[in-house]
Amino acid sequence: MSERIVIGTRGSALARWQADHIGEALRAGNPGLVVEQEIIVTEGDRRSSGLLADFGGKGLWVDEIERALTERRVDLAVHSLKDVPAGLAAGLGIAAIPRRASPRDALVSRSGAGLAALPAGARVGTSSLRRVLQLRLLRPDIEVEILRGNVDTRLRKVSEGVVDAAVLAVAGLTRLGHAARITEEFTPEQMLPAIGQGALALETRNDDERLRRLCRGLGDAEAEATVAAERALLAALEAGCRTPLAGHAEVRGQRLVLRALVGRPDGSEVLRESLEGDMSEAAAVGAEVARRLLARGADRILAELG
């Protein structure tokens, strides 16, 4: 690797913040390193309305960036890990997971009311089927509406009354300086987070050994263990974007606890599992939780929803 690297990133404010954050960390540990960015418009960026599942799912956010990596137009991709499918493009790998931000979800309401205090029929926006399901479990009397757009766009739609409230990731709100807009932060017991939420993935070409070593200097053992468990769950379930799926791992000492949920968007069927295991066997914990969910009927839900 030369003394210059190019980070491929989407053009949203959050994606740019993430790329800047990683670029600064790389420069801090490697004086003289020049870090540049190339903005890449993904299919997900071009689809401004409707459910992503209708257009092909999670790969919409990363496919073009992975193509730029493969074609050597960029050297490093910085992704929100929750947007990264279980399978990566050939020849690419995740070199490191830096320290993880909060994986939790938050409510932002126009009135300042928490979820329990919203009136019946209140309109709450999200584009995540995972959140749709759990909102309906918590408040079956509210209206859940599909709300797309970047963080600033969704906050503006709340302020303008397009919806009464919206659910967003705590990490994204905090990174962009919007923590004060949070009305209520959900516990994992209330709303189980998305797989990889709050974590960043540093994706490189597998043959770029020098860059991979530099990225490894930013890796965090606890973040990588929790992500390993959650992504093993995702891979074993082979879940599509039409099936609400949540997975959240926590490290307690040298032990790891993984909780997972699979269900139907309308809340008519919900399966939950949890398992504790050794931190060093995080991926095995994820695979076992998936096996238990499949044995209890998740395979049927996945087959029916696609």
Catalytic residues: 83
What residues does 251 pair with on adjacent strands?
Answer: 256
H or E stretch at 158: helix 151-159
Q: Which two tokens mark 55? A: 């257009």
What residues does 218 pair with on adjacent strands?
Answer: none
Q: Which of 77, 71, 75, 94 is nearest to 10 (CA)?
A: 77
DSSP at 280:
G
User: Contact at 8 Å (CB) between 75 and 211?
Assistant: yes
H or E stretch at 255: strand 255-263
User: Contact at 8 Å (CB) between 233 and 290?
Assistant: yes
CA 221 from chain centre, in angstroms, equals 18
Alpha-carbon gap, residue 201 to 198, rounded angstroms: 10
User: Contact at 8 Å (CB) between 243 and 305?
Assistant: yes
* Helix spans in 160-255 (H): 170-175, 209-216, 221-237
DSSP at 177:
T
Q: Which of 154, 186, 172 is nearest to 101 (CA)?
A: 172
User: Contact at 8 Å (CB) between 90 and 166?
Assistant: no
87: exposed, middle or buried (Cβ count in 10 Å: 0-12, 13-18, 19+): exposed
